[in-house]
Chains A and B, each alone.
Chain A
Amino acid sequence: MRGKKIFLLLTTLGFIVFPAAFSSAQTAQKGIQISPLTYNFEIKPGESQTAKVTLTNRNDVALSFVMETEDFSAVSEEGAPSFAATPKQEGVTTLADWVKFPSDKEGTIEPKAGKEVAFTIDVPQQAEPGGHYAAVFAKEVKKTPEGETEIGVASRVGTLLLISVPGLVTKSAEITEFSPPKFVWRGPVDLKMKVQNTGSVHYDSLGQVVLKPLWGKGSTVDMGTHTIIPKSIRSYTAKWDKRFPFGYYRLKATAQDGDKGLVDKSATLIAVPLEIAAPALVVLIIIIIVVKYIRRRYRVIANQPPAAPPAAAGSSIPPPSPSEPSPSSDSGQETPPAPPPETPSQETVEPAETMSEPEPSVANSLKDEKEALTESVGGPSEGGEASLPSENTASQKTENDLSSEQEPSSVDTSKRKASIVEPALPESKSPKGVEDSSLSENTVPEAPQESLEPEQATPPSEEITPPPSTDEELDSQQSTPTPTVEEMNKPGPIEVDKPLKNVVGEEGDGTENK
């Protein structure tokens, strides 16, 4: 209630104090007015057409006017007629000349009154078939100021005349431009095309764009209807109001010519709505990360050694499947080539005193491993940085296996270590070839140590001996009972505690203990 009162008070004050502020609303009701805006006639040569325009004086004073005609031969792309004078050939008449005002061309209109002004279009017999364009104007007569340097502004309003003279006419059209965006992130999509009238008479042309996706239902966008006069180009614009277009679209723009035939032009469009694509991408990345994480976790859990003592588990463990994928390959780590599962494992070999007669296959494998070791020592390791820790792991693995298999705890660990050095070397190429590595804390921290006697359960780091880098080192490291390669190549007894495949860990994952 109070607000209403204040509003009324302010409005009244406004009218009293600022009358000029409200004058602009009234100005719209002043000036000179003409109606209608266009006439569209088809007139045969030699015939006439009568029409009229209604003039209205919206001013408070009488208005003097004069009727004028002017040709136009072009319109802008928006449809604005251009009355710029075009040179006329001598003896040639135009539509502006064909328009006659039977009554006086000049007159006066009383304030707030209207007046009808009739005119006739007399098309001459020799009129060229096709389109003819002009405007009928009502111009306010303004006295030219005198005495000072000043300029007077007169206003003029017009009715457009579009006349077609039948005969041999063409009504062809051409789409001169259709270039929708090639790629959009979101809708709506702005569509624009330009159509030129290549014929000789004006016509109304309906423009459309058909958008067809690779799959699914297409859409049709109505570009509107424009009147195109000969040689002029009209611009069609519209929006495809699809908020989230997605995919590859084939676009076909069509425009009607004067005979209702269609001309067309094609284009393509790729739409990827950012509002959908970005979150989807993020979700996808998250899913991939989660899946990878879960897979890795699963493998780590699956690869953890059982709680049972390794010695007991050793013989009962089923052999790992050679076809089982390596976790290292999953994680994308570069891994040296894995030795075949049937490679003779030093873990299965008893200390030197029991290796009097190795089996030929085992001996050959050991020889191969020796050669491989020589290669790896002679040149830079292919595994690079990854090979160093793996050497430790490999030797630890071997040692551990031995410790778990050799029940007599009185066996000197250094001796065992020496005995395993030779066969362990080839394992240096398999960085993660550790099985049941009770000595390797970096592979399986909770590796079982229970199988060892208390005095043997020394920290793994003390037990680990760096692998020899050369043959000399290798030989020097070998203790007396440890067989050399040559010795190992000699036929002699070899004691194999358990199947090799039970002991050899899977390449790259040595903790495989399933």
Chain B
Amino acid sequence: MRTKKIKKILFLLGFVGLVGLLSLVFNSPYNGLDRAKASDVTLSTNVQSYINLSISSGSTITFGNLTPGTPICAGSTVASVSTNATNGYTIGLNDNAVGTGSALLHTDLATRIADYTGTIAVPTLWSGTGLGISCYAADSSKEAAWGAGTTLCDVNNKYAGVPEAATTAHTVTGYHAGADASSWGWEIDAPNSQKIGAYSGNVTYTATAVLL
């Protein structure tokens, strides 16, 4: 009888001990299960910086027939920039035309329509002749120098001739997710002395990152 009782007690003690042991094993930080959970997979990548420029509209501007003394506000070009640059981006303009000549070259390959007299540094309200450009709208920080106009052909737009070398015309600082667009209006007039004929040429929009 007593032996039976002792056996029972020993069985119970053994059972409790086993349960405790199992509990210790499963709750231990050193058990295999937890180790499998804790072992992270290290992922790493290096996101490259980039800049993308798209002329989303107005990649070709047709002025039509130009009557000297009657300015033509021809159309607009929308430049859209996407970049992950931390410090922002800048848009420069140039036409590779030497001196005061604009990009518009006569079919004689010698005569040019002149640049408008305003400069990118100091644009002016339209007055005079030549080929001029104005930034009339921008998603981010339109420069005050471009005038108070907000629409194409707004009389408050200020115009500049396009220089030979790439010159910064619009700068957006800071990080901008997604595309950031700026709208540029063109205006042209020619003096009475302008040679009759067709003129054509290219203007380049250059997008680069702003230095850190």
Interface on A for B, CB 8 Å cutoff? 24-25, 27-38, 54, 56, 58, 70, 75-76, 78-85, 135, 137, 139, 142, 144-160, 204, 225-227, 229
Binding-face segment, B21-29, B148-156, B171-179 = B171-179
Given contacts A79-B87, A227-B211, 5 further A-B pairs with CB under 8 A are A31-B80, A36-B49, A79-B173, A83-B165, A84-B165
- Min Cβ gap B173→A in Å is 5
Q: Report which of A35, A84, A153, A155 forms a contact with B49, defined as CB distance below 8 A.
A: A35
Task: Give every chain B residue within 8 A of A155 (Cβ-Cβ).
Answer: 53-55, 79, 204-207
Task: Give every chain A residue within 8 A of B66 (Cβ-Cβ).
Answer: 149
Complex Cα distance, B143 from A76, in Å, reads 14
- Min Cβ gap B16→A in Å is 57
Complex Cα distance, B99 from A85, in Å, reads 12
Write the chain B residue with the least CB distance to A40: B212
Complex Cα distance, B86 from A204, in Å, reads 15
Interface pair B61/A79, CB less than 8 Å apart: no
Complex Cα distance, B166 from A147, in Å, reads 27
Complex Cα distance, B171 from A82, in Å, reads 12
Q: Given that A27-B179, A78-B171, A145-B60 are contacting pairs, would A152 and B206 also be in contact in the complex, using a CB cutoff of 8 Å?
A: no
Interface pair A149/B199, CB less than 8 Å apart: yes
Interface pair A225/B200, CB less than 8 Å apart: no
Interface centre among A34, A37, A146 (most CB of B within 10 A): A37
Task: Give every chain A residue within 8 A of B181 (Cβ-Cβ).
Answer: 24
Complex Cα distance, B49 from A172, in Å, reads 29
- The answer to whether B100 has its CB under 8 Å from any CB of chain A is no
- The answer to whether B83 has its CB under 8 Å from any CB of chain A is yes
Instruction: Pick the 8 closest A-B CB pairs, nearest first.
Output: A31-B54, A28-B179, A27-B56, A79-B211, A80-B90, A35-B50, A33-B52, A37-B209
- The answer to whether B88 has its CB under 8 Å from any CB of chain A is yes
- Min Cβ gap A27→B in Å is 4
- The answer to whether B32 has its CB under 8 Å from any CB of chain A is no
Complex Cα distance, B54 from A156, in Å, reads 9
- Min Cβ gap B138→A in Å is 14
Write the chain A residue with the least CB distance to B106: A149
Interface pair A37/B50, CB less than 8 Å apart: yes
Interface pair A151/B186, CB less than 8 Å apart: yes
Interface pair B54/A28, CB less than 8 Å apart: yes
Task: Give every chain B residue within 8 A of A25 (Cβ-Cβ).
Answer: 179
7 A-B residue pairs with Cβ-Cβ distance under 8 Å, sorted by A, are A28-B179, A37-B208, A38-B212, A83-B165, A148-B62, A153-B60, A157-B206
Interface centre among A29, A135, A157 (most CB of B within 10 A): A157
Interface pair B90/A158, CB less than 8 Å apart: no
Q: Report which of B55, B63, B164 forms a contact with A150, defined as CB distance below 8 A.
A: B63
Q: Given that A148-B200, A150-B60, A153-B77 are contacting pairs, would A78 and B209 also be in contact in the complex, using a CB cutoff of 8 Å?
A: no
Interface pair B52/A58, CB less than 8 Å apart: yes
Interface centre among A30, A147, A226 (most CB of B within 10 A): A30
Interface centre among B51, B90, B103 (most CB of A within 10 A): B51
Q: Given that A83-B166, A150-B200 are contacting pairs, would A76 and B50 also be in contact in the complex, using a CB cutoff of 8 Å?
A: no
Task: Give every chain B residue within 8 A of A204 (Cβ-Cβ).
Answer: 212
- Min Cβ gap A20→B in Å is 10
- The answer to whether B107 has its CB under 8 Å from any CB of chain A is yes
Task: Give every chain B residue within 8 A of A81 (Cβ-Cβ).
Answer: 90, 168, 208, 211
- The answer to whether B111 has its CB under 8 Å from any CB of chain A is no
Interface pair A142/B200, CB less than 8 Å apart: no
Interface pair B53/A36, CB less than 8 Å apart: no
